[in-house]
Amino acid sequence: MKIAVIGTGYVGLVTGVCLADIGHRVTCIDVNITKIRLLREGKSPIFEPGLQEMIQRNMLENRLRFTNEINAGIDQASIIYIAVGTPSNEDGTADLSAIQDAAVSIAKHIKHDVVIVTKSTVPIGTNDRIKAIIEDHKVDKSIRVDIVSNPEFLREGSAISDTFNGDRIVIGSDSEKAADIIEEINKPFQIPIFRTSIRSAEMIKYASNAFLATKISFINEISNLCEKLDADVTEVAQGMGMDKRIGTHFLNAGIGYGGSCFPKDTNALVQIAGNANHEFELLKSVIEVNKKQQKILIEKAKKRFDSLDGLTIAVLGLAFKPNTDDMREAASIPVISELIQSGARVLAYDPIANENAKRVLPKEVTFCKSIEEAITKTDCVFILTEWPEIVQFELAKYPLFMNRAVIFDGRNCFDPKKLLAYRIEYHSVGRSSTYLEVLKPSILK
């Protein structure tokens, strides 16, 4: 089928490229000319394993093209995906201005019957609004427009794998014919299809992300309790996860969730509930727990050193998770900002996200090209992202390069008992801190 995708952000680009890869002819549209020029050269503007190679392959096979002209982009398409951003407003609501602009542009340029598929995460009722906007603005009133809500469930860093190996594809529509078309488009993925009403599909996306965020905040609260009661949260999580009703996913204690989805979607769902005169108290607590959890390493460091003023601290891992360069809502932002405010000198390193990090982190941060450079002559290390390069880094190098080998691990990368052999003082989340056996914490201060 001939498909147009409006928006070449994370969701739009991955969606368009993967649809091309299963045989459809796809045109990706974006108003950002610089981004379109880059894509036409076969270069991905975002870091996602395997994406750039897939872009290049499908361009060579004439199934994928890019344009900044919406008229040319949707001219032949019978299916138009909307995958523009819906960032948070200051009050936590979703900013739908890009959605509205896309709907108006579609209405002005469509010349035949189309199915509009919303990939963007939007508040419940937005697809009805998209339909109304298009009906109001379309030039030819005889053109039939059907709306389908088709939310994405992609994880950054594994989005291509998720597209081809997802748990379900949700198709929400009031038109059986339109739903049939979208189901046919997605058949090559060989993933279970779940058909619902439009509003149920919209809610499924928010409810799924909110539930996963709740699991993360729950295990983080358990981790804080484990520290006070001398239990090990990794053992607790493993024991919990063996229960099939609970499962092991999203039970890794640490410094909280970040990224483009969980913070935005949890805040938006609280606002959606408020607009419906429903106080979502549980989700409010989830958000508050996450905010506090991001600062837990700061609290541990201040307790350990009394003051951070004058310390040189290395921060390893800046992106909100491994295998992405995305800095949106990354824990490194509030952590590093507070380290700087506390008088510490910060050296930072990330395998991929350094350049994006420079745009959002304080100007006082010194960016390094390697782990060794970052940790040299430092007083302690903060681990904020569990990149394989960081997890697999030779532990013996920490005491060799550092002034004193003290690690604050926000992702529980290591077994505390093993750190003793390397003469490393180790503080993690939800587990007892490990000090050198010959020294006492009071002496170390």
Catalytically active residues are 261
Count CB neighbours of 184 within 10 A: 10
The alpha carbon torsion through 182, 183, 186, 192 (nearest 10 deg) reads 140
Question: Residue 112 carries which DSSP code?
Answer: S
Q: What angle do CA 148, 153, 155 make, to 5 degrees?
A: 150
Across the beta sheet with 406-409, what order do the strands follow? 366-367, 345-349, 312-316, 380-383, 406-409, 425-427
Residues 6 or more apart in contact with residue 101 via CB below 8 angstroms: 84
Please report where in the chains the tokens 């009050």 appear, as a residue: 91
Q: How far is CA 130 from CA 99, 112, 124, 133, in A?
A: 8, 17, 12, 5
Question: Residue 299 carries which DSSP code?
Answer: H
Q: How far is CA 400 from CA 70, 204, 266, 424, 437, in A?
A: 57, 51, 43, 10, 19
Q: How far is CA 298 from CA 143, 334, 400, in A?
A: 59, 10, 24
The string of DSSP letters for 383-437 reads E-S--HHHHTS-TTHHHHHSSS-EEEETT--S-HHHHGGGT-EEE-SSS--B--T
Label residues 25-60 b or e (16+ Cβ within 10 Å = b).
bbbbbbbeeebbeebeebebbbbbeebbebbeebbe
**Two tokens at 52?**
């750039």
> Distance between CA atoms of 39 and 29, rounded to whole angstroms?
11
The string of DSSP letters for 134-197 reads HHHH-S-TT--EEEEE----PPTTSHHHHHHS-S-EEEEES-HHHHHHHHHHHGGG---EEEE-
> Distance between CA atoms of 69 and 34, rounded to whole angstroms?
13
Question: Residue 238 carries which DSSP code?
Answer: H
